[in-house]
Chain A
């Protein structure tokens, strides 16, 4: 029986699918569902390019974009939890997605993530969380493939 379930969300289709399964599990076990969104500051590192101009405007713009995505993802999560009558707890963390998901899942009973079916070049390109997380997380992990 799960008391706390963490589901990783980024607003993309595969994580929405993962949320649907996490909701089912949370409702069945009367668990608290933690909707985790990680704000990845990856793009900000490029503001130091050699000839970059308008750096502050770029940093502010990236912040606004990431904030908008985070707000939308959390709002959708809360909406679904209210509709499905599940105790939802939104959580936003900042940093590297893998590190933050591992840290946020610590102490939970289950971590749910979505995964895309990737092949060839796309698979090489992707950071592929479903392949990396099993070796890093200390809690049971459920991967919902698209």
Chain B
């Protein structure tokens, strides 16, 4: 019995209500998404069927080759199937579904995030749900690991150089710029260090990794976390619509979100909201980004502790290798392992358009990861509290605002200059 008990985290029953609430919320949102998508597809089908029928009649009248006729017949059958799902007939209109799903872009991500924010801040969450909701957020991680089947070494090499250059400029550049400018302006090391890492690397996660190293004060940590959450959330809500307004491709948006949005949770959510191509690109750059966490912690240690004559002796006693190991995001190895295995086609092939072939283990993983994401997004949405963001303030707010604006503008210019073709992740 004692051995069995040792398998569980102490107090684990406390997380069950919140986790169940997130699963239920995810289930409802995914079904609402599927419902809207079905009617949107039917709406598209009602418009395409007459066009396809006319093309088919024309081809038949001209005695076109069977392959051309076959292609149109296949498309027509697919559209008819989409219409049959809602028991519709050609001429029926479901414009409301297209408006909500396509034009306003309210997908399951939006339901979970916007709905979660509204529930948390207008109705409130009962205390019994809070521990489970907090634990639901990292459930995205198994989803990220499974997403490894979307990549191969070839696809990574294709965009790898661009991704690494963007990461180096925006991640390391931001961190060093914030730390150096903060130091010159007399901002306390404890705040400058966590804001440099937080705005540069992966937001609150980086603050958690660096705060003990630079010995931040609790008030500064609250300011910094509030600031990152405030600007991360604003960027999450604005970026997908800005991306559409600027006509960014999926890959361009993914790269922009990954280098500019201040907090990791919000950047993955924004990219998934924009579309699968944006998500694949954002996860790839974000993987490079979080691999920088141990390096940034070391840079911070050197900049604030080892260079300081008063603290150098204490800093020298710190085991740098142990520090690096402690701050290394181990789960990334899972993502990497799946990507390597998928390079050899272990989990199933990609079709000509770079999509995973249906019926393969990889395609099954594709469905499973979406559920991990959905439960994680439910946790993120229900965790976004205006009360937390209200704690943004002081010098942290000024730094956060400046970096958010700079990264938004410069990141947008960078992805527009790089172009669409160099920022697409192709499977296979």
Contacts and interface: CB of A to CB of B under 8 A. Distances in A.
Task: Answer yes or no: are A and B bound together in one complex.
Answer: yes
Contact of B135 (A48, A57, A61, A65): A48
B385 to A, nearest CB: 10
Contacts of B268: 50
A143 interface: no
Interface in A42-76: 42-43, 45-55, 57-58, 60-62, 65-66, 69
A124 B230 CA distance: 14
Interface of B: 134-135, 137-138, 140-141, 202-205, 207-209, 211-212, 217-218, 221-222, 225, 264-265, 268, 290, 293-294, 326-329, 376, 387, 390-393
B205 A50 contact: yes
A50 B134 contact: no
B138 A48 contact: yes
Interface of A: 42-43, 45-55, 57-58, 60-62, 65-66, 69, 121-122, 124-127
Contact of A125 (B138, B293, B391): B391
Contact of A48 (B134, B202, B327): B134
A46 B204 contact: yes
B208 A46 contact: yes
A14 B211 CA distance: 27
A58 B138 contact: no
Nearest to A65: B218
A50 B293 CA distance: 13
Contacts of A47: 208
A57 B393 contact: no
Contacts of B221: 43, 62
A125 B392 CA distance: 7
Interface of B is mostly: helix
Contacts of B134: 45, 48
B209 A54 contact: yes
B378 to A, nearest CB: 13
Contacts of B203: 49
Most buried by B among A50, A55, A127: A50
A116 B207 CA distance: 28
Nearest to B390: A125
Contacts of B290: 51
Contacts of B327: 53-54
Contacts of A61: 211-212
A51 B264 contact: yes
Contacts of A53: 205, 208-209, 293-294, 326-329
Contact of A50 (B138, B212, B225, B392): B138
Contacts of B387: 127
A69 to B, nearest CB: 7
Given A42-B222, A69-B218, A52 B392 contact: no
A127 B137 CA distance: 26
Contacts of A66: 218
Which of A46, A47, A58, A125 gathers the greatest number of chain B CB atoms within 10 Å? A46
